[in-house]
């Protein structure tokens, strides 16, 4: 089979690889149909991460089930499924508590599309093995197009976890998004609006991202990242910048919740810990636990409360993936 391989910054190419096979009766083989780029992919391709090639690329997809083991009961050949980017067994203590990103039956940070936590392949491949099919695979609802839901594997659920649980506890609460140059910031704004936040303000980020967030119903805050805004009971740092992180933290109300999805590869400037302490702010960071959130997001899409398609900057043909990824460091969906 072929798999798209990240070779070095700015260079990806199709390479032949051995076909994956079932290695247990609880496993499945899937054929990715639509693959979305993750916000992290742009950093990898441009050489701004510590990850070095070669490795199989891609970790957000909708796929078709091709083959299943004898013990698999939740999927059948021909089914369309969302495949979470993290590998999780569904049975260990962490998985049963919903912490699938820290499954204890797999190496730490086991995932598709990056050379960490083992070698699981990438979704820009002809076939991919899913080791825990019943635990991992989520059926695509009828009427939802694969290209629309491709990013549910990671970026969209990452956005949902910043606002969804909080708005369930505080219905209608206003939300602040400190944006960056990716897609999670816009997804978070759109989902907050869809879930009934009384106001969603969008600070920082690229002009086109802020404009897109506005199309979903968010209000732009002019002037970049001030020292503080609001305050807001729910704040999100999706900026990837020290100023955005500090603004989100300082803009959080007493007993409010600030979630950061930024990956800071270098040490950050001092955060306002004294202010956070005196306010009793809850600060959440770390990787999303993707699998439990996928049905929540697919439900929003199926109910037409949230349409992620406007966030995609371009849809690209499968064969054009190497050049498109190297040249366009933005949200893409690559489909067969």
Specify the pLDDT at position 328: 87
Residue 131 has pLDDT above 90, yes or no: yes
CA pair distance 126, 137, nearest whole angstrom? 17
- Asked whether 255 and 232 are in contact (CB, 8 A), the reply is no
- Measure Cα distances from 7 to 46, 152, 325 in Å: 12, 26, 12
Neighbours of 315 (CB within 10 A): 15
Specify the pLDDT at position 166: 98
280-291 per-position pLDDT tens digit: 999 999 999 999
CA pair distance 113, 317, nearest whole angstrom? 19
The half-sphere exposure of 216 on its side-chain side, counting CA atoms within 13 A, is 32
- The CATH classification number of 155-284 equals 3.40.50.720
Q: Mean per-residue pLDDT for 258-263?
A: 95
Each domain of the chain, given as residue ranges in start order, spans 2-154+288-335, 155-284
Q: What is the mean pLDDT of the chain?
A: 96
| Residue 63 bridge partners (DSSP) | 32, 81
Specify the pLDDT at position 329: 83
Residue 268 has pLDDT above 90, yes or no: no
Specify the pLDDT at position 223: 87
Q: Supply 216's token pair.
A: 């979903």
Specify the pLDDT at position 136: 98
Residue 182 has pLDDT above 90, yes or no: no
- Asked whether 182 and 190 are in contact (CB, 8 A), the reply is no
55-100 per-position pLDDT tens digit: 999 999 999 999 999 999 999 999 999 999 999 999 999 999 999 9
Q: Mean per-residue pLDDT for 112-138?
A: 97
Specify the pLDDT at position 29: 98
**Which residues lie below 8 Å from residue 336, measured CB to CB, with a gap of 6+?**
32, 33, 34, 318
11-16 β-sheet, strand order = 11-16, 2-8, 55-56
- Asked whether 144 and 98 are in contact (CB, 8 A), the reply is no
Specify the pLDDT at position 265: 87
Domain 2-154+288-335 in this protein, CATH class: alpha beta
Q: At what angle do helices 290-302 and 184-194 cross, to 10 degrees?
A: 60
**Stretch among 262-266, 304-308, 329-333 having the lowest mean pLDDT:** 262-266
Q: Mean per-residue pLDDT for 311-335?
A: 95
**Which residues lie below 8 Å from residue 208, measured CB to CB, with a gap of 6+?**
none
**Percent of the chain clearing pLDDT 90 (strictly above):** 95
Per-residue b or e along 44-53, where b marks 16 or more CB atoms closer than 10 Å to that residue's CB: bbeeebeeeb
- pTM for this one? 0.96
**Percent of the chain clearing pLDDT 70 (strictly above):** 100
Taking CA 68 as the corner, what is the angle to CA 152 and CA 97, rounded to the nearest 5 degrees? 50
């Amino acid at each position: 089979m072929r798999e798209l391989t990240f070779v070095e910054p700015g260079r990806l190419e199709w390479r032949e690889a051995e076909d994956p096979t079932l290695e247990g009766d609880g496993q499945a083989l899937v054929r990715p149909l639509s693959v979305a780029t993750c916000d992290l992919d742009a950093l990898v391709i441009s050489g701004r991460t510590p990850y070095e090639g070669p490795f199989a690329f891609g970790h957000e997809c909708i796929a078709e089930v091709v083959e299943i083991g004898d013990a698999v009961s939740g999927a059948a050949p021909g089914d369309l499924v969302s495949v979470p980017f993290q590998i999780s067994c569904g049975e260990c203590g962490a998985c049963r508590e919903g912490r699938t990103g820290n499954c204890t039956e797999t190496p730490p940070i086991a995932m598709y599309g990056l050379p960490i936590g083992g070698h699981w392949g990438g979704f820009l491949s002809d076939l991919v093995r899913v080791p825990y099919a019943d635990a991992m695979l989520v059926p695509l609802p009828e009427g939802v197009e694969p290209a629309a839901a491709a990013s549910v594997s990671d970026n969209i659920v990452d956005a949902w976890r910043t606002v969804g649980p909080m708005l369930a506890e505080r219905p209608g609460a206003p939300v602040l998004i400190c944006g960056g140059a990716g897609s999670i910031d816009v997804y978070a704004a759109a989902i907050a609006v869809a879930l009934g936040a009384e106001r969603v303000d969008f600070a920082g980020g690229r002009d086109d991202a802020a404009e897109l967030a506005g199309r979903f119903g968010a209000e732009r805050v002019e002037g970049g990242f001030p020292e503080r805004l609001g305050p807001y009971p729910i704040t999100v740092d999706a900026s990837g910048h020290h100023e955005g992180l500090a603004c989100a933290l300082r803009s959080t109300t007493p007993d409010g919740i600030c979630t950061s999805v930024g990956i800071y590869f270098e040490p950050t400037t001092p955060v306002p810990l004294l202010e956070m302490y005196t306010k009793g702010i809850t600060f959440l960071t770390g990787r999303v636990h993707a699998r439990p959130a996928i049905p929540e997001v697919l439900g929003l899409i199926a109910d037409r409360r949230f349409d992620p398609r406007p966030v995609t900057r371009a849809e690209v043909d499968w064969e054009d993936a190497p050049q498109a990824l190297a040249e366009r460091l933005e949200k893409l969906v690559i489909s067969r």
